[in-house]
Structure 1
Amino acid sequence: MKKLFFLLTILSFLYSCKKENSQNDTNQFYEKAYTFLEKKNEDSAYVYFDKAKEVFLKNENKIKEGKCLIQMAIISTNKGDYYNGQSLSTRAIKNFDENDKNQFSDIYSNYINLGISSDNLRDYKNAIKFSKLALKFAVDESSKLIALNNLSRIYKENKQYTQAIKIYKNIISRSKTQNNQIYPTALTNLTTSKWLSDPSYSPEPELLKALKIRENENDLWGQNSSHSHLSNYFMNKNSEKALFHANKMYEISKKIKSPDDQLEALQKIITLDPHSYKKFFNRYTTLADSLQTERNNSKNQFALIKFDTEQIKKQNAQNKNHILTQYIAIGILIVVLVVLTLIIMWYKKRQKGLQQEKEIEVKNTQLKMSKKVHDVVANGLYHMMIDVQNNPEMDKTKILNDIEKMYEESRDISHENIAEKDFALRFINMITSYSSDEQKVLPLGYKENIWESISYNTQLELYYTLREILVNMKKHSQAKLASVRFEKDNNNLKIKYTDNGIGINNLDQQKGTGIHNTENRIESVGGDITFEKNPTGGLIVQITIPIQSKYV
């Protein structure tokens, strides 16, 4: 479930607060930004808040500049750009006086946003700290309940269930009626926290009670949340009920136009209903790609706005002759220093290279041979094991043929020996052999003629790269579904691998030998390979091979 529910409250709260002095300001950008915000056009609102911020900065109106920064921060967080949201909120802190009660509402909203963005970045320590600070500056009971709910949710996500339960009980006791949004939200989270801390506890009655209140109030967002929690509870207890609530969640998430919740619901349905997994898996991958593209576009747009603003500032500064002179002098000095540094570095590297040239040549030969042994023998054996495991009825003749082929490949390890004539068939057979009842691997868009205009050396490198990825999927990912999509145009061959496994939390720290081998392979044929987190869980690997490259 997305964690941005209370950001909508903050946006409307800030809008009501902003009008108190707006008539005394002549900043038309500021008013226009709120007009777009009222119409839920957040992208345009962001642009005009940025323009208004520069006017307030020039006029030394720190409070209004800070208000613009907060609104831009909240919009960024709401768009999934949590780092930018966190950065803008951090900049806004210095614009307000925490001893001035008239500024408490803005300070409160800023800390709420910092708590939510930190939570989404899994920085629970700071998320708790900022949520407690927001509670300190809450101006009324409703604001306090929002801050308390966010704080308890963070404790729950960080598996600190005792603290979460204590706060949820406090929220429920402070709720004035049972027919509002706060009470069923707190009741749902309290019950879920109890269940997570004690698996023998049954949350069903209380979850259904919260769902009933939300249905009476026609609270679709709340109903969406209730069905998600109910499906999670029944996931390993009653697959029929779990599937029922997952389908309900999917239908409601489409009504409220929440792509994140649609993805969550589809993932549940795919897991619970294997008979129709292909239909829902295609919907899942299409929606995931679309959502990722949309978020990347938003991030790029905000980055361009920031870039344009900085360029304008730089241009204005350069119009002053004395600053321009300083820039030129500094630039010349930097160029001279860089050139001298490069010359010195080149000379030292050259001298060292001459001394170690033979040693490096020996090491490279060893690495190359080790790499070929890994590809032909180790991964070949593992591939054969998986093939036998997934096809227990395989006859001995095929097994012996496979062993003979691997023998031929390893007989002269300095020469690659996968026959060109049956490469296309062996390639697709290699991929599908990793599919089993527990792990589905779907090749999408694959045709035998896709290898036209691709050199045989490149074909081999792609074969070993894909096999390395699938071996790691089988050994480590815990994925239930994986797909390998092939696309080709006049310029590039593109291969996209996607799974819904545990993914890699920190790509830079967790890159092992296997990942580095695949990167080296693709680079050796002039291609590009990227590893990234699947926004809905799991891993995405994208490979691009330029067809017109001199390497192909």
Structure 2
Amino acid sequence: MKIIHSPFLCILLLVFACSDKKEVSAADTLYKKAERLYDGGEYEQAFPGFYSAYQAYMTEQKPRDAAYSLVFLAIIQTEKGDFLGSNENLSKALKLSATDETLLTSVYNQFAINHNLLQNHENAVYWYHKALPLTEHQYYKLSIKNNIGIAYLKMGRYATAESLFKEIAGEDAIKDSISFHNRVADNFAYSKFLAGKNNPAEREMLTVLESRKRNGDRYGLTTSYSHLADFYKATDRRRSYEFAGAMHDNARITGNAADQLEALGKMIDAGEAARIKSLFGTYRKLNDSLQNSRNRSRHHFTSVIYEAEKNKADLLSSRNEILTQRLLIVALMIIAGLATVLFLKWRRKQAHKNEIAVRDTQLKYSKKVHDVVANGLYHTMVEIQNAEVLNRHKVLNSIEKLYEESRDIARDDFDTVIEQDFSVRLYEMLESYSSGRHRVLVIGNTWELWRRIAPEVQVEIFYVLRELMVNMKKHSEARTASLLFEETAGGIHIKYTDNGVGISDSAKWKGSGLRNMENRIDKLGGKINFGPNPSGGLITDILIPKN
């Protein structure tokens, strides 16, 4: 499929090429290579190049340049029929565009094109109107208005479209381009035909057709043949069929499969009964081929993005490896020292108690070590792994907090020492498990929910949920997890859901993790149930009584 560059793409190329860069970065090199592939018509090869440039610009903290790469990705996806993927990249570009009017114009215009192709014409008009005031060049303003008029025609607002085309046709700026003048004149005449004004419409559309033939405007000829096939459909089916056939032949020359498909549809509508079966077979074969091509392109784009993000995550992981190893050494020293202190404390205080009391004490401190140190350590490691940019100060604060909690673990009142706003502390812990590979959604965690819950109960809930998140990260292989907090008549209901391997692999949660969760909830007089997610994964229901 041949790409026809819009005026906005031309602006985009010009502005970006002329931007003042004192030195060429690695991202600039990637961008220029992708641009050369794009200009050479190698769109699927250009796509991974532009995505690599986008990632590199984000690493270099150049959001504006990253947005340019995203716009090119979106244009390629539109041309290959991946309209939803194109809109997704345009949304990302929109967030990075800030007040750059050139970028915003390109993004809005491409949004409008996508919505038109998806038959969402009202949305297309909305985005065209957002782009309109951002360009000062009269030719480009008229080009946007022409596109708005086309959208009105597809919406059945023929009088509105006719009035708009009449306004554009009266502007001097259209005289500077024969192809644009013909485009407006043809659309103006077509709108008259749709509004029931056949006499001037026929003459004007035929005049434009001859002009396009003289100037070799292949893409314009496709539109002329299409409009004339529609014009003669009700009055002269033979001529309608001839113009539809001419549209099909011309679309084959331009290589536009979608136009070929539209032309075949018109030929089927206007053709004789003897020809319809053969035409329908050709139509079905071409339609299947076009859909398969679009599906292959969508799969290719998805694979490129997945591999690029995976490589980025692997690189970040390798950069954090040394720091993680050092953290492990420090943590092991803390655990070893803590284990010694706990053992001595236990031996002094528990010498006179019986075997049951000794076993209970061991369980108590084992649970604290597991919840505070092991899970605290793993939580810190997750924060490091999920950080796109490593913040040493934040890491040191986390280690210091882990040290303080570990130092105070033997205190009898340790479980009552919490921060003032429990909802904030809980949210920060849960959110820290979100990353490029894992997404954690938290719903209903408000200050009002916890205001009547005692501090010692809040601590128990905190450790239960952290244990749940650690197991999600280590064992479930889930990509998405959600936690819903609700206040019911019976107390506080917490529902955890993920899309991981599910309850069948719960045996992998070795050690004291599950026991600690069940013991803590049982201690509060609550209930905890683990079950399979019908959609795949795990559902955990926790009910904490109000009293």
Given the two structures, how large is their TM-score scaled by the length of structure 2?
Answer: 0.58
Paired residue for 1:49?
A: 50
Paired residue for 1:263?
A: 261
Is the CA contact 2:153–2:191 (under 8 Å) kept in the aligned structure 1?
A: yes
Deviation string, structure 1 residues 454-489 (Cα, Å, up to 9, x no partner) = xxxxxxxxxxxxxxxxxxxxxxxxxxxxxxxxxxxx
Q: Measure the CA separation in 1 of the matches of 2:316 and 2:176.
A: 59
Q: Measure the CA separation in 1 of the matches of 2:215 and 2:67.
A: 36
Deviation string, structure 1 residues 362-413 (Cα, Å, up to 9, x no partner) = xxxxxxxxxxxxxxxxxxxxxxxxxxxxxxxxxxxxxxxxxxxxxxxxxxxx
- Is 1:314–2:313 an aligned residue pair? yes
Q: Tell which deviates more after alignment, 29-38 or 197-206.
A: 197-206
Q: Measure the CA separation in 2 of the matches of 1:235 and 1:178.
A: 34
| TM-aligned CA distance change 1:193 to 1:341, over 3 Å | farther
Equivalent of 1:342 in 523, 526, 531:
531
- In the TM superposition, residue 122 of structure 1 has moved relative to its aligned partner by 2.4
Is the CA contact 2:3–2:79 (under 8 Å) kept in the aligned structure 1?
A: no
Equivalent of 1:224 in 210, 222, 225:
222
- Is 1:115–2:90 an aligned residue pair? no
Paired residue for 1:193?
A: 191
Q: Which ranges of structure 1 fall in alignment gaps of 5 or more residues? A: 347-552
Secondary structure of 1:19's counterpart equals: helix
- In the TM superposition, residue 199 of structure 1 has moved relative to its aligned partner by 6.4
Q: Which ranges of structure 2 fall in alignment gaps of 5 or more residues? A: 325-380, 387-431, 434-465, 477-495, 504-528, 536-547
Paired residue for 1:140?
A: 137
Paired residue for 1:238?
A: 236
Paired residue for 1:58?
A: 59
Paired residue for 1:151?
A: 148
Deviation string, structure 1 residues 422-459 (Cα, Å, up to 9, x no partner) = xxxxxxxxxxxxxxxxxxxxxxxxxxxxxxxxxxxxxx
Matched pairs, number: 340
Paired residue for 1:283?
A: 282
Paired residue for 1:177?
A: 175
Q: Measure the CA separation in 1 of the matches of 2:530 and 2:143.
A: 56
Is the CA contact 1:105–1:139 (under 8 Å) kept in the aligned structure 2?
A: no
Mapping for residues 395-434 of structure 1, pairs under 5 Å:
none
- In the TM superposition, residue 311 of structure 1 has moved relative to its aligned partner by 1.7
Q: Measure the CA separation in 1 of the matches of 2:298 and 2:472.
A: 35
Q: What amino acid does structure 1 have at the position aligned with 2:201?
A: P
Q: Measure the CA separation in 2 of the matches of 1:343 and 1:269.
A: 55
Is the CA contact 1:253–1:261 (under 8 Å) kept in the aligned structure 2?
A: yes
- In the TM superposition, residue 13 of structure 1 has moved relative to its aligned partner by 3.3
Is the CA contact 1:6–1:146 (under 8 Å) kept in the aligned structure 2?
A: no
| TM-aligned CA distance change 1:305 to 1:273, over 3 Å | same
Paired residue for 2:342?
A: none
| TM-aligned CA distance change 1:63 to 1:345, over 3 Å | closer
Q: Measure the CA separation in 1 of the matches of 2:107 and 2:17.
A: 18
Q: What amino acid does structure 2 have at the position aligned with 1:211?
A: L
Paired residue for 2:84?
A: 83
Paired residue for 1:24?
A: 23
| TM-aligned CA distance change 1:309 to 1:195, over 3 Å | same
Q: What amino acid does structure 2 have at the position aligned with 1:60?
A: Q
Q: Measure the CA separation in 2 of the matches of 1:83 and 1:97.
A: 23
% identity of equivalent residues: 22
Paired residue for 2:246?
A: 248
Is the CA contact 1:70–1:92 (under 8 Å) kept in the aligned structure 2?
A: yes
Is the CA contact 2:30–2:49 (under 8 Å) kept in the aligned structure 1?
A: yes
Q: Measure the CA separation in 2 of the matches of 1:249 and 1:37.
A: 27
Q: What amino acid does structure 2 have at the position aligned with 1:64?
A: D
Q: Tell which deviates more after alignment, 113-122 or 322-331.
A: 322-331
Q: What amino acid does structure 2 have at the position aligned with 1:195?
A: F
Deviation string, structure 1 residues 477-531 (Cα, Å, up to 9, x no partner) = xxxxxxxxxxxxxxxxxxxxxxxxxxxxxxxxxxxxxxxxxxxxxxxxxxxxxxx
Q: What amino acid does structure 2 have at the position aligned with 1:342?
A: G
| TM-aligned CA distance change 1:178 to 1:227, over 3 Å | farther
Q: Measure the CA separation in 2 of the matches of 1:298 and 1:279.
A: 29
Q: Measure the CA separation in 2 of the matches of 1:301 and 1:120.
A: 21
Q: Measure the CA separation in 1 of the matches of 2:63 and 2:30.
A: 16
Q: What amino acid does structure 2 have at the position aligned with 1:250?
A: H
Secondary structure of 1:342's counterpart equals: strand
Q: Measure the CA separation in 2 of the matches of 1:110 and 1:343.
A: 43
| TM-aligned CA distance change 1:191 to 1:197, over 3 Å | same
Secondary structure of 1:45's counterpart equals: helix
Is the CA contact 2:34–2:49 (under 8 Å) kept in the aligned structure 1?
A: yes
Is the CA contact 1:243–1:273 (under 8 Å) kept in the aligned structure 2?
A: no
Deviation string, structure 1 residues 275-319 (Cα, Å, up to 9, x no partner) = 233433332222211111111111111111121122223334444
Is the CA contact 1:76–1:85 (under 8 Å) kept in the aligned structure 2?
A: yes
Secondary structure of 1:236's counterpart equals: coil
Q: What amino acid does structure 2 have at the position aligned with 1:85?
A: S
Q: Measure the CA separation in 1 of the matches of 2:192 and 2:50.
A: 43
Paired residue for 1:68?
A: 69
- In the TM superposition, residue 72 of structure 1 has moved relative to its aligned partner by 0.8
Paired residue for 2:302?
A: 303
Deviation string, structure 1 residues 160-186 (Cα, Å, up to 9, x no partner) = 223212221122112442861211111
Q: What amino acid does structure 2 have at the position aligned with 1:286?
A: K
- Is 1:332–2:471 an aligned residue pair? yes
Given the two structures, how large is their TM-score scaled by the length of structure 1?
Answer: 0.57
Paired residue for 2:423?
A: none
- In the TM superposition, residue 66 of structure 1 has moved relative to its aligned partner by 0.7
- Is 1:97–2:98 an aligned residue pair? yes
RMSD value, Cα: 2.8
Q: Measure the CA separation in 1 of the matches of 2:311 and 2:51.
A: 13
- In the TM superposition, residue 242 of structure 1 has moved relative to its aligned partner by 0.6
- In the TM superposition, residue 9 of structure 1 has moved relative to its aligned partner by 3.8
Secondary structure of 2:235's counterpart equals: coil
Secondary structure of 1:297's counterpart equals: helix
Is the CA contact 2:50–2:73 (under 8 Å) kept in the aligned structure 1?
A: yes
| TM-aligned CA distance change 1:23 to 1:288, over 3 Å | farther
Is the CA contact 2:244–2:267 (under 8 Å) kept in the aligned structure 1?
A: yes
Q: Measure the CA separation in 1 of the matches of 2:142 and 2:209.
A: 20
Is the CA contact 2:139–2:174 (under 8 Å) kept in the aligned structure 1?
A: no
Secondary structure of 1:332's counterpart equals: helix
Q: What amino acid does structure 2 have at the position aligned with 1:245?
A: F
- In the TM superposition, residue 196 of structure 1 has moved relative to its aligned partner by 1.7
- In the TM superposition, residue 145 of structure 1 has moved relative to its aligned partner by 1.8
Q: Tell which deviates more after alignment, 281-290 or 81-90.
A: 281-290
Is the CA contact 1:104–1:139 (under 8 Å) kept in the aligned structure 2?
A: no
Is the CA contact 2:226–2:244 (under 8 Å) kept in the aligned structure 1?
A: yes
- In the TM superposition, residue 137 of structure 1 has moved relative to its aligned partner by 1.1
Deviation string, structure 1 residues 110-154 (Cα, Å, up to 9, x no partner) = 111011111222223321111011111114122112211111111
Q: Measure the CA separation in 1 of the matches of 2:281 and 2:315.
A: 51
- In the TM superposition, residue 331 of structure 1 has moved relative to its aligned partner by 5.0
Secondary structure of 1:177's counterpart equals: helix
| TM-aligned CA distance change 1:179 to 1:94, over 3 Å | closer
| TM-aligned CA distance change 1:199 to 1:205, over 3 Å | closer
| TM-aligned CA distance change 1:277 to 1:343, over 3 Å | closer
Is the CA contact 2:87–2:111 (under 8 Å) kept in the aligned structure 1?
A: yes
